């Protein structure tokens, strides 16, 4: 089997689709049910994308691992639909059958690697796209600073450094083609073609995209599509906070994928995310592109979570827990609360209240998200969620989910109140174990974390919530506003 030439760009043609395929794309978009904010964000970000214009180009660096014929066809169709929506795929082929652990076998044009690449290209072509196979000219493996380790001449210490040339990839995309890349590099100084692990190719490409000299933008998404890798318990992983805990509960194969994702994200933008999914889950990447959130809310209680069919990984933000009021940066806290609620906080009164009731605060990132828990009631036996806020500029980064997950771990039993007309209440209903209306008021009390003595605790929660003073100042009356303007 011969390798198709990667320099056949002049034969590139625009993507062509049947009316049926156009309708299928529209159907998948409508099934994502984006909110108004999500729809506006998507149209603003992807409404004017064109592969020939680098300033508007969005890239999906895609890792295809060990696919059957059906999986290959489904993955190809998904990737082409993403390109129609403004996210252009760059595909790195992976099939571990051609790699022996710890070795870099010489390139063979009849190897399984080339067969896998050909199968992917044919699948893409059959959807109306134009695939460009690339087997050389991208990676150079520099062994000049290494030395042989032991008797195996293919093992070097340290491993070779990989240099990446993006010019072929850039040309292919400029002409409307989808690059399909084999992890093959030419060695220096021996000048031989060799296979190397696809994970190293992904990392080398991620690094190359981030360099100032790059002619292509940093990838918007990293897609890891594999039939045998699925973190069924995790809809979202905030790597900056959760990686140490995950190391104790995941398999070595899963940890390898997560570490690869984390290394690639180090070269990405803060908003870059990784999708870990089966190639048969065709709707997942499309839904994530449009809504920019996991398919399942990661902060739902375990007994209310539907089947998790994909995992979103983000470099994310660190989460810190503050146990004393003296450690809290109150000016930053007040600023976040006022921007989040669009109200002016009664700073002296609220500070005095915290001095007597503060339990702990949970902070996401540099005050992008905040939860304040107080101790209320006789003997301060009731743990009460006084404030839960996300900075307006950080909306859409799953910060509310990250904050809530940590809140549940830190406070296994909790109550809070919300005005009955609060538009956030549906989100609270999904996460609360119970709720009740306080008679003759506009307050709803929520709680989670206990199963016994519900009636007695409900009375306590209602009593506590009824006596929590307002934290924000009332808005100025129209006459006050006129007086200020006049003065």
**329 in the same domain as 430:** yes
Please report, for the domain that includes residue 328, its CATH number. 3.40.630.30
User: What mean pLDDT is predicted for residues 268-276?
Assistant: 91
Beta strand 443-448 with 414-419: parallel, antiparallel or unpaired? antiparallel
Identify the residue whose tokens are 């002296």.
348
Question: Which residues, 6 or more positions from 244, have their beta carbon under 8 angstroms from its beta carbon?
Answer: none
Check whether residue 388 and residue 292 sit in a common domain. no
- Residues 266, 415 share a domain: no
Q: Are residues 376 and 394 in the same domain?
A: yes
Confirm whether 123 is domain-assigned: yes
Q: pLDDT: is 143 or 161 the higher one?
A: 161
Residues 303 and 349 in one domain: no
**Tokens in use for 327?**
């450690």
Do the bridges between strand 178-181 and strand 193-195 make them parallel or antiparallel, or are there none, so unpaired? unpaired
What the block records as the tokens of 141 is 């493996």
**Do 259 and 364 fall into the same domain?**
no
CATH of the domain at 162: 3.40.1160.10
In a domain, 205, yes or no: yes
Residues 364 and 431 in one domain: yes
Q: Is residue 205 classed as helix, strand or coil in its secondary structure?
A: helix
The alpha helices in 247-388, defined as continuous H runs, are 252-265, 283-291, 330-341, 347-357
Q: Is residue 471 part of a domain?
A: no
Instruction: Provide the token pair at 8.
Output: 């056949």
Is the omega angle on the peptide bond into residue 362 within 30 degrees of 0, that is, cis? no
- The number of angstroms, rounded, from the C-alpha of 112 to the middle of its chain's C-alpha atoms is 32
Please check whether residues 194 and 76 belong to one and the same domain: yes
20 pLDDT tier (thresholds 50, 70, 90): low
Question: In total, how many domains does the chain have?
Answer: 2
Task: Indicate the range of 78-82, 157-161, 174-178, 253-257 predicted with least confidence.
Answer: 157-161
> Which residues have a Cβ under 8 Å from the Cβ of 205 and sit 6 or more positions away?
61, 90, 92, 164, 166
DSSP 248: T
Contact 364, 400 (CB under 8 A): no
Q: For strand 273-277 and strand 221-225, is the pairing parallel, antiparallel, or unpaired?
A: parallel
DSSP label at residue 396: T
Residue 2 lies in a domain: no
pLDDT for the residue numbered 12: 41
Q: Among 261, 275, 238, which Cα is nearest to 406's? A: 238
Same domain, 171 and 207: yes
Q: What angle do CA 200, 203, 206 make, to 5 degrees?
A: 150
What are 87-144's pLDDT values in tens digits?
A: 999 999 986 655 554 455 666 677 778 888 999 999 999 988 999 999 888 999 887 6
Could you give the CA distance from residue 168 to residue 219 in angstroms, rounded to a whole number? 17
Q: Give the residue numbers spanning the domain of 422.
A: 319-466
**Residues 326 and 426 grouped into a single domain:** yes
- State the Cα–Cα distance between residues 209 and 204, nearest whole angstrom: 9
């Amino acid at each position: 089997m011969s390798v198709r030439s990667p320099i056949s760009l002049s034969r590139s043609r625009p993507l062509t689709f049947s009316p049926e395929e156009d309708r299928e794309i529209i159907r998948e978009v409508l099934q994502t049910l984006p909110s108004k904010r999500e729809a506006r964000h998507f149209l603003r970000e992807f409404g004017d994308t064109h592969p020939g214009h680098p300033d508007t180009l969005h890239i999906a660096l895609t890792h295809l691992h060990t696919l059957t014929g059906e999986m290959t066809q489904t993955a190809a169709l998904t990737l082409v639909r993403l390109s129609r929506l403004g996210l252009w795929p760059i595909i790195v082929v992976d099939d571990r059958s051609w790699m022996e652990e710890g070795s870099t076998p010489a390139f063979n044009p009849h190897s399984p690697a080339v067969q896998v690449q050909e199968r992917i290209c044919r699948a893409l072509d059959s959807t109306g796209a134009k695939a460009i196979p690339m087997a050389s000219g991208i990676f150079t493996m520099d062994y000049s600073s290494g030395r042989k380790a032991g008797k195996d001449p293919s093992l070097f210490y340290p491993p070779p450094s990989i240099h990446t040339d993006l010019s072929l990839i850039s040309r292919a995309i400029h002409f409307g083609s989808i690059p399909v890349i084999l992890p093959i590099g030419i060695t220096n100084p021996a000048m031989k073609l060799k296979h190397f692990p696809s994970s190293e190719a992904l990392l080398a490409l991620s690094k190359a995209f981030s360099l100032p000299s790059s002619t292509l933008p940093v990838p918007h998404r990293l897609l890891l599509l594999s039939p045998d890798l699925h973190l069924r318990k995790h809809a979202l992983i905030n790597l900056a906070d959760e990686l140490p805990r995950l190391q104790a509960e995941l398999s070595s194969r899963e940890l390898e994928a997560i570490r690869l994702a984390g290394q690639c994200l180090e070269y990405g933008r803060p908003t870059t995310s990784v999708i870990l999914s089966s190639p048969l889950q065709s709707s997942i990447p499309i839904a994530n592109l449009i809504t920019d959130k996991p398919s399942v809310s990661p902060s739902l209680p375990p007994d209310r979570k539907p089947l998790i069919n994909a995992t979103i990984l983000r470099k994310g933000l660190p989460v810190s827990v503050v146990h004393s009021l003296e450690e809290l940066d109150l000016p930053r806290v007040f600023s976040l609360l006022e921007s989040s609620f669009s109200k002016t906080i009664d700073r002296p009164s609220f500070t005095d209240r915290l001095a007597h009731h503060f339990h702990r605060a949970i902070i996401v990132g540099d005050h992008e998200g905040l939860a304040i828990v107080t101790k209320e009631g006789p003997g301060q036996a009731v743990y009460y969620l006084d404030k839960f806020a996300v900075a307006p500029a950080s909306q859409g980064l799953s910060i509310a989910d990250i904050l809530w997950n940590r809140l549940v771990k830190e406070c296994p039993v909790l109550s809070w109140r919300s005005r009955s007309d609060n538009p956030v209440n549906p989100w609270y209903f999904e996460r609360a174990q119970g709720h009740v209306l306080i008679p003759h008021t506009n307050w709803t009390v929520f709680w989670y974390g206990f199963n016994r003595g519900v009636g007695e605790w409900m009375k306590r929660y209602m009593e506590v919530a009824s006596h929590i003073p307002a934290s924000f100042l009332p808005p100025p009356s129209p006459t006050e506003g006129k007086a200020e303007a006049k003065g």
